[in-house]
């Protein structure tokens, strides 16, 4: 565990109640729509108490309707938007509230038919909205260094613990979260919550062995994230 940044416990009230089983995750307290996070208990690594953010209302009004052209890809438009409108904040509650708005849009029920995954239900989308909201507290610096790592970095393990999913369902949620089915929407919608997209498997400072996840030691190695323990210093 590496906790070099300082941040007091914080709470935020979201528009809907979260699943109370999130109380199983150390550092998270869920009381209906009120989410409280104790960083000292929640993070495995916490080195930076600021996040880069864009206001969701601005994203929704100015960016979501933009179509890419032969000259400019959506990803480039999103990057330019963040460069122009992004700001640094230490308000972690605001980060969670913004992430909730982002993922409520990205994993909305009307999006179900476009996924091409008939086994994904509205309840699965609810799980994705909740887990992805907590994912926004993770942080990858511009040089690729992972500075903040919470339990939801280990996506299949965290969702299996909270929602009691079997390996197949947990893997399916992981694929939808990281998959190409929603990728075309990610560039614009996740501009509101910086660094929320998938990160490389090999990232400086973290080993990629198959050691057990600290959330659920019985879980196999997470397929889409670095392992749970810091690598030995070089």
d(CA 226, CA 80): 29
Q: What is the pLDDT of residues 102-151, one digit of tens each?
A: 999 989 988 788 777 788 899 999 999 999 999 999 999 989 999 999 99
pLDDT confidence of residue 176:
86
Q: What is the pLDDT of residues 182-193, one digit of tens each?
A: 443 443 344 444
The pTM (predicted TM-score) of the whole model is: 0.76
Q: Which residue has the higher pLDDT, 219 or 103?
A: 103
pLDDT confidence of residue 111:
77
Q: Is the pLDDT of residue 214 over 50?
A: no
d(CA 183, CA 177): 9
Least confident of 23-32, 34-43, 57-66, 136-145: 57-66
Residue-range domain boundaries for the chain: 49-192
Residue 102 contacts by C-beta under 8 Å, 6 or more apart in sequence? 56, 59, 132, 136, 189, 190, 192, 193, 196
Q: Is the pLDDT of residue 220 over 60?
A: no
């Amino acid at each position: 565990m590496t906790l070099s940044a300082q941040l007091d416990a914080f709470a935020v009230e979201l528009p809907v109640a979260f699943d109370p089983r999130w109380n199983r995750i150390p550092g998270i307290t869920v009381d209906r729509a009120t989410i409280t996070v104790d960083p000292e208990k929640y993070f495995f690594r916490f080195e930076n108490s600021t996040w880069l953010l864009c206001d969701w209302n601005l994203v929704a009004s100015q960016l979501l309707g933009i179509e890419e052209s032969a000259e400019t890809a959506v990803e480039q438009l999103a990057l330019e938007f963040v460069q122009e409108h992004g700001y640094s904040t230490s308000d972690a509650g605001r980060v969670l509230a913004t992430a909730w708005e982002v993922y409520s849009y990205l994993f909305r029920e009307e999006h179900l038919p476009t996924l091409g995954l008939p086994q994904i239900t509205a309840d699965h989308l609810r799980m994705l909205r909740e887990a992805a909201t907590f994912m926004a507290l993770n942080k990858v610096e511009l040089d690729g260094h992972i500075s903040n790592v919470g339990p939801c970095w280990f996506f299949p393990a965290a969702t299996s613990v909270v929602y009691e999913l079997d390996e197949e369902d947990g893997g399916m949620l992981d694929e939808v979260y990281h998959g190409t089915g929603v990728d075309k929407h990610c560039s614009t919608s996740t501009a509101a919550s910086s660094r929320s997209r998938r990160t490389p498997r090999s990232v400086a400072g973290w080993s990629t062995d198959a050691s057990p996840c600290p959330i659920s030691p019985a879980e196999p190695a997470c397929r889409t994230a670095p392992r749970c323990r810091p690598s030995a210093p070089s």
